[in-house]
Every structure is written in structure tokens, then in C-alpha cells.
Structure 1
Amino acid sequence: MPTSTEAYVARGGNSLKLEKVTYADLDGNEVLVDIVASSVCHSDVKAAGGSFHMRPPLIIGHEAAGYVKAVGPTATYVKPGDAVILAFASCENCRRCNSGKSPYCENMFGLNFTGKRSGGGEGVVVVCEGEEEVKGLFFGQSSMSRIALVRESCCVKVECARDELVLFASLGCGIETGAGAILNVAKPAVGSSIAVFGGGAVGLSAILAAKLTSPACLVLVDNSQTKLDMIPKELLEGVHIVNSTNKSPEDVAAELKKLTPSGAGMDFAMDGVGNEIVLLTAHLSLDKLGTALIVGGSPNAKQQTKIENHLVNGLTTRGMHQGDSVPRVMLPHLIQLWRAGKFPFDKLLTVFKFEELHEALDEMHQGKLIKPLLVV
């Protein structure tokens, strides 16, 4: 039977509200999940405003957790009652997925940004108040809803108490991306110098991960003192802070180099913003054989670095999706680190009721919080 619930529907512009929606019957390996919490990522904001790959009208949400309510006829990984965290969707069958590189799944766009069912043809029928069809399956899940219809490949099974599952809802995109940039991609040697640009959830997750690698120098760079002052002090122990406001890329890079033991520059510089000037600054701050990590995204940003600098200094520029994280491997690892007291991602979260999305967004835009978590 079709399933009715409430979900946050974006219709373009500033139109984003909680509406009644009805899903079609489950097909293939689709899964219904009773959501316990959903966190907010900037990609949700972009999609709601019509400036992302998937356009309104659609149900937003791609960081969530809950309990499996029902499964489609070909689902094999989960069963009703399983606790799951939701991440991006992948086909699980292409050469990238089969080689442990699911963030680069050859079917990534179709599974995450078209709203179409895996068998092709019609999308998931989501009928709202007024009988207007909207798109679902945003990032394979559209999970800012009380009940979400998701692709099974989005599901990561976990064993935990409900209060823990609420916190784990925040792990499926931004946090795993920041942590993955360090742990999966950079893999810095002990004693490395690391700079992270951007004090949001992605950047701070990278900072937490970098602390685990025993760096000689770890720096957080941001241009908002309000944001820097908001970050819990315990997360910044042992971290140098650089406010880049009104400073040129050259000046910021020089300041960063002075903080390193050799004075020659950073081994790794991560752009968690997706800004041309930030990426240029990151490159300028590198030591010879250093690596610039591109995590943040912007559709029109271009790289402004000089080829000569790459050649003479042996620099590497490494883009990535989801921090090269395979969710069913990465998320349990982050949970294990959290339980050991080594990855306190919960300090990044501010809890709201599920009905308080607009209050959460207002505080996020005002720079009053790092990552909102909507609890159902």
C-alpha cells in the first residue's frame, strides 16, 4: 500500500515547508525508513534554492538515520527493524564500486540526482497536498522526512541505542567527507604540517581527523571571527587559528608557513570552502611536494594556480568526492573512534525539533551554530 508521511518539500526560491507526501509502493531494493533524526548540509540549502544538480520541487535531506520499516522485493542487505545511517547511493555493481571506490560510482548522477527509480522510467511518485508530484531520492534518500523512501545502497547498518542513532544521523555526508579527506586521501605521516580552510562541519571534521595523525603543525583558517569564537574550545586544543579577513592570499600563506617547524610550508592544505581565492591560498601555503586537497565545491570556481609552481615544487592537487569514503566502512570506523573518545563529532551538533527547520536554518545563516540536527 502507498505510504503517507510528512516531509520538507522545496519548491524553489524561499519555499520550503513541511508537507504531507505519499510514496508509491516499494519497488526493487527500495526501503522505507522511520527517521529518528536528520541533519542539515549546505547541499540541502543549495538544492532547496534551485542551485544544485537536482531541481525543485523535491524532498530535501541526505544526512539521516532511523529504523527500517519495510523493504522492497529484491532488498537483501537490510530487514525491518534494522538501525541504519543513510549516506549517498551507489550501484554496487560497476567497476568503481567493485574496486572499493563507490564515491566514484559510474552511475552516481542517476542514482543520486534524477529522482528516477533504479529500473529506469518513472521516478518515485511523491504526491503532496494539492496532488502535485515532486521528486524524491535526493542523494538516493530525500530523508528530511518522518518516513523516507531510500535506495538500499544508502543504508549502513549499525548496532546502537536510539540516542546514539540520533547523533549518527549527522555522519553520512559532510562529516565523513572532512574526516575522509585526511584519513583516506591525505594519510599524513606523523609530524606533518596540515592547514584546513573553513571552520564548518567539513573543515572541523578534518581537524578532528588530523589530530589523530600526530601532526607537527595543525592550522584552521577562516575569515569569520564569529564562527571561530563559536567553535568549542576543546576541539581546538593544539590547533593554530588564523583569521584571514582582509588578508591577501600571499599574506595568509606567509603566515601559515611561519607556523610550520621548517618555515617552508604545509604538507597538506585542504580547501573545505570551494572558493577560488581559498584554493589559491592553499596552494601558496604548500611546501615542496605538498598536496592541496579540494573538498569544497562551487559550480563556477576555477583554479588560479600557476603550472610552473606545480612543476618546480612537485605539487599535487587532489579533488575528491565524499573524502573517498565507502560509507559501510567509514561510518562504523568513525563511530568506533567516537566511542573511544577520539572523534567527538557530537560537539559540532545543535539539536532542534523536527518541526524547527527554519529556526535551524536562520541560526546557521547567522553563523550561530556549526551543524543543525533535527530530531523527530
Structure 2
Amino acid sequence: MPTPTRAAVVESGGAPFALDDIVLADPGPHEAVVRMVAAGLCHTDLSVAGGGLPFPLPGVLGHEGAGIVEAVGSAVTGVAPGDHVVLSFTSCGQCRDCRAGHPAYCATWLPLNLIGGRRADGTGTLSRDGATLGGHFFGQSSFAERALADERSLVKVDPEVPLESLAPLGCGVLTGVGAVWNVLRPTTGATLVVLGAGAVGLSAVMAAALTPADTVIAVDRVPERLALAKELGATHTVNPAEEDLLQALRDRTGGRGVDGVVETTGNVGVLRQGVDALAARGTLVVVGAPPFGTEVALDVNGLLGGKRVVGLTLGDAETQTAIPALVRLVKQGRLPLHRLITHYPFADIDQAVRDMGAGKAVKPVLVF
């Protein structure tokens, strides 16, 4: 039977999140109904809510869910009712990149996750008063008390770890960690720079602290976030409001430049500075997403020393392997995600949005 629930609905681009009663469709063969326990708030949610991406509104967003499975479709085998799950992105499972272990580069990633608002077959997952809502956001639309999720969005996790502490694993943490572990892969003595000390950047700092890199430099304009970065494993910090970024990075690397950069800000001026700061054969990972169509100018001759600029989606992670490993690190205290999280009751979602925009909360997590 269809499932009634309460959700945070965005009526149109720029409108606030408003709680309303909606209905989940019957789960398909490869779907499950999940009772949400927590959901992280991400800048991508705010971009879509603000009208920056062509997602069909009115609709329900949310893509860092964590909850407990209540019901499963007829063909679901990976999870069962009662399982604790973290919700992440979905993918087709059949294209070349999915089969090669790179589902974040699925051939149908954009319509399935970010802009489609419906299942792959065009049917809707959510409705209100008989009218279909935009849903299926990252295969989950988890800003609701219950979510209808794709099986490929669900990752079974250790029930001993509180779900309130795991929700950000589905996107922000996965992205920051994957930038370091899956792309930069620092070797002994490497020098890494993280541009932007928000949730993704601080996740990259924590990941870098678990590698053989011996220099990890966090860059941000907010002193409190730089202080937190030091506590989470950064060996150095730079505040570009107080000193020239390129000169500061040269000073902290003895003039050599840096081996790896994680760019999380989405600011093309900062991205360009990051590329210029690279040492020979260094790599910059582009994580921050500016508006569609944004371009950046690079010094072509400066790239000829073997520099690489690599775009990244969701850490290039295979979620069924990566997320349980991250949960184990959280349980062991080696990935202290709780230092990033501020909890809010679900009804206070707009306060969480304001606090995130004002920089008062690094990673707001809504609790149901």
C-alpha cells in the first residue's frame, strides 16, 4: 500500500522548506521503505532548493539519509526489514562504469540522482493530494519521516553505531575522503592542501591524517574552522584574508609546491590558485561545484610539468565497500565525524539552513 508520511517540501526555486503531508508510492521490486532517523543537510540540497539546478519542483530533497528499513520490494536481497542503513546515491548497475566499480560515473547518474525527480522508467515516487512531486533525489529524497529508496542507494551498516552520527557518510564525507584516498593516494612525505574547511574539506583533512602524507595544509577564511582543522589532523593552516595564499603555500613547502590539492569551494579563482600551487606532477581534485557552465582559465605551459586537474563526483566511491569501512573508522574513533555535526529537530530544517549559510554549523544533521 502507499505510505503516508511527512516531508519538507520545496514549492519552487527560492522557497523555504515547508513541512507537509505526502504519500510514498508502493515500493517497486528493487526499492525499500526506510524510516528515517537522521539526514544531513548539504550544499547541493540548498542549490537545488534555490533554483540553481533543474530539479522538478515542488519536490522533496535530501540525500544524506540514515534510517531503519521497514519494508522491501520483491526482488531486494541486500537489506531486510530492521536493518540499519546509510543512504547514498543510486546508479544503474549495468553500464561500463558501474560494472567497473565506479558507480558515481554511471551513464545515467544525472537523471537518476540530481535532475530527474523520478524513477528511470519515468514514474514518480512521491505525491501530494494526488499530484506527483519531484522525488527520487539521489534515489532517496530523505527529507521526510519515511523515504522510498532504491536498493542501490542503501548500505547496511553496524547497528551499534548511532545513525545520527553516520548520515553525512552518504555524500559529503564520502566525497572528501574519496578525494584523498581514491584520487590523490598520497605517498610517504607527500604535501596536501585542502581548499575550504567545510564538511567536505574537513573530511578530506581527516582522511589525509590517516595516510603517509606528512604535511596537510587547511585553507579557509574562518578562524574557527581552521582551528578545528588543526584538531582533526591539519599540520598547517592558511587564512587567505590575512596572507597571500600562493606565497603562504610556497613558504610552508620550502618553495617546492604541493603534491595534492582538494578544491572544495567552487570558486574558480581559488581553483586557479590551487593549480598554480602544484609542484611538478602534482594533482588537483575539483570537488566544489560552481553553477553549470562556469569556466576557469589555466596557464597551459604551467601544466606541462605533469600537473593534473581531475574532476570528482562522490569520491569515486563504491558505496557498498566504502561506507561500511568508514563506519568502522567512526566506531574506532579514528574518523571523528561528531566534531563536524550539529543536530537539529526535523521541524527546524529552516533554522539549520540559516545556520549553514551563516557558517554557524559545519554539517547540520536533521534528527527525526
Q: TM-score range by the shorter chain?
A: over 0.9
- Report the equivalent of 2:15: 14
- The question of 1:3 aligning with 2:3 is answered yes
TM-score when scaled to structure 2? 0.95
| 1:242 pairs with 2:238 | yes
Q: Count residues in correspondence.
A: 365
Out of 198, 201, 209, the position equivalent to 1:200 is 198
Structure 1: gaps spanning 5 or more residues: none
Identity of aligned residues (%): 38
Deviations 1:49-105 (A, max 9, x none): 111242321101000111111112222222211111000001112211111111111
Contact 1:115 1:140 in 2 (8 A): no
Query: In 2, are the aligned partners of 1:43 and 1:52 still within 8 Å (CA)?
Result: no
- The equivalent residue for 1:97 is 98
Please state how far the C-alpha of 1:239 moved relative to its aligned partner.
Answer: 2.4
After the TM superposition, list the runs of 4 or more consecutive aligned residues in structure 1 that deviate by more than 4 angstroms.
Answer: none
Q: Which amino acid aligns with 2:248?
A: E
Question: Does 2:303 correspond to 1:310?
Answer: yes
Moved more, 22-31 or 266-275: 22-31
Q: What RMSD in Å do the two structures reach over aligned CA positions?
A: 1.7
Contact 1:275 1:301 in 2 (8 A): no
Mean Cα displacement is larger for which, 265-274 or 219-228? 219-228
Q: Judging changes above 3 Å, is the alpha-carbon distance between structure 1 residues 121 and 323 closer, same or farther for their aligned structure 2 residues? A: closer
Identify the residue that residue 25 of structure 1 maps to in structure 2: 26
- For 1:226 and 1:58, the matched residues in 2 are separated by 35
Amino acid at match of 2:240: S
Using the size of structure 1 for normalisation, the TM-score is 0.93
| Counterpart position of 2:218 | 220
Q: Which residue number corresponds to residue 268 of structure 2?
A: 276
Cα deviation for residue 374 of structure 1 reads 0.9
CA distance in 2, matches of 1:216, 1:24: 51
Written as runs of structure 1 = structure 2, the 5 A alignment for 1:40-59 is: 40-59=41-60
The answer on whether the counterparts of 2:218 and 2:229 sit within 8 Å (CA) in structure 1 is no
Task: State yes or no: 1:292 paired with 2:284.
Answer: yes
Report the Cα offset of residue 233 of structure 1. 5.6
* 1:234, distance to aligned residue in structure 2 (A): 2.4
Deviations 1:293-321 (A, max 9, x none): 1111112431211111111x211111111
Q: 1:253 aligns with which of 246, 259, 263?
A: 246
CA contact (8 A) 1:232 1:347 kept: no
Following superposition, the deviation at residue 355 of structure 1 comes to 1.1
Instruction: Decide which of 311, 322, 326 is 1:319's aligned counterpart.
Output: 311
Sort the Cα spacing of 1:232 and 1:202 in 2 relative to 1 into closer, same or farther, 3 A. Answer: closer
Q: Deviations over 1:261-310 (max 9, x none)?
A: x4211001111111110110101111111111111111243121111111
Structure 2: which amino acid aligns with 1:20?
D
* Alignment CA distance shift 1:222-1:233 (3 Å): closer
Alignment check: 8 A CA contact 1:47 1:55 kept: no
Corresponding position of 1:114: 116
1:159 maps onto 2:151 in alignment: no
Conservation of the 8 A alpha-carbon contact between 2:17 and 2:349:
no
